[in-house]
Structure 1
């Protein structure tokens, strides 16, 4: 199947801004290895469709159109979690979230509120927190390229190495005062697809930690579901005549 170079350039701009928010036309043109005039046309097209927005300083960021489109697309994690998320919430009684890394932030893809009485933590989908602030982001950083981890937490590389070795992270206060989070990465085909986390009031911290085995098992099940889904999908263009 033939591909469009112009479309590829536009997609690369979006990916570049997803990794490094707030760039000028000159910076984006350099990243794409195209002339400034070509870069200007690509940026103008994306800006005109609200896929990117321009700040007063002349730098471009991802725009609201992407959010509008993404609401209609099930995230890979969300699609593959199936009943695993519901099962984890039922078994633990606590709020369970699926999270993904977007630039420097952890973004909550979906969540299921806890059933452990009136005292539970609600974490709305779409909520963003810095990767280094919470366990859900720490497990993502731990499996990121060394340069990305070093940039986010230059003084805690050893901590991230320990998290990677353990396969989970525990933190306090990530989703507000009095909260604790226990998180595990979802690793499919040596790629980190995201993380699954249990979020609860800190008065139940010991109980949350006791759910580590169930959490790790759930992450493995979701990873296996992602791999099965990918294996069942035909390659783009397969069967085209």
Structure 2
């Protein structure tokens, strides 16, 4: 197996080198997760701003662990091992949310998902697309965006107390809409994360877990935002009750 380090050096410098390599390996996984198609080693090296040989050594290690795979053309994509690892993330929350998301997605005809807070970003944990015969929006697990944009981010902001908000160390101020969620019943956004798309979300209070939200994303809908918000609120109650 290739060494998981780029350079040799004194013992004092070794931890820094290992940490940098690990950071680059994780960044490669993030880049591949954000890409709509497989990428070449040259593309990944450019994205990391490193020499091709460094990117290649990191990829070999990730490949040995099944985290990435290469097709016959040498293009790189995420590997099946990641799916197995992802199932262990908030396992109970995923299990409780999956049937509820499935029902919401099919009843409302839109993509439903649970998003969680991760160091100032909102990350999709699990999602379900509608089976209805019209254009649906793909919301892949692992998709992330800044906390200060999008309905899920606003919903999560509304559930954070002052101490939790300060601990994030964000330069952005809390969205004014976050203070209105308890009154309106839901958070909404349009054209924020992806142009042309709308989203509605409500907080999902999961004891002992990261702040979360249950949300839908769609192009258009015959349902009013109020009705969608009510459906999501009931869905959140169902998930929390299942976890309890």
- TM-score if structure 2 supplies the norm length? 0.60
Tell me if 1:168 matches 2:186.
yes
Could you say which residue in structure 2 is the equivalent of 1:83?
Answer: 99
Q: Is 2:232 the partner of 1:215?
A: yes
Q: Verify: 1:115 aligned to 2:93, yes or no.
A: no
In structure 2, runs of 5+ residues without a counterpart are 1-11, 26-47, 50-61, 68-80
Residue in structure 2 matched with residue 141 of structure 1 by the alignment: 157
The number of residue pairs the alignment matches comes to: 181
* Cα RMSD, aligned residues only: 3.5
2:112 to 96, 115, 138: 96
Q: Structure 1 regions of 5+ residues with no counterpart?
A: 1-36, 57-63, 228-241
How far does residue 108 in structure 1 lie from its aligned partner after superposition?
Answer: 1.1
Q: Is the 8 A contact 2:159 2:211 kept in 1?
A: no
TM-score w.r.t. the length of structure 1 is 0.61
Is the 1:139–1:164 contact (alpha carbons within 8 Å) kept by the matching residues of 2? no
Looking at structure 2, the residues matched to 178 and 199 of structure 1 have their Cα atoms a distance apart, in angstroms, of: 11
Kindly indicate whether the alpha-carbon contact (under 8 Å) linking 1:139 and 1:185 is maintained by their aligned counterparts in 2.
yes
How far off is 1:217 after superposition? 0.6
How far apart, CA to CA, are the structure 1 residues paired with 2:147 and 2:216?
Answer: 16
Q: Is the 8 A contact 2:106 2:132 kept in 1?
A: no
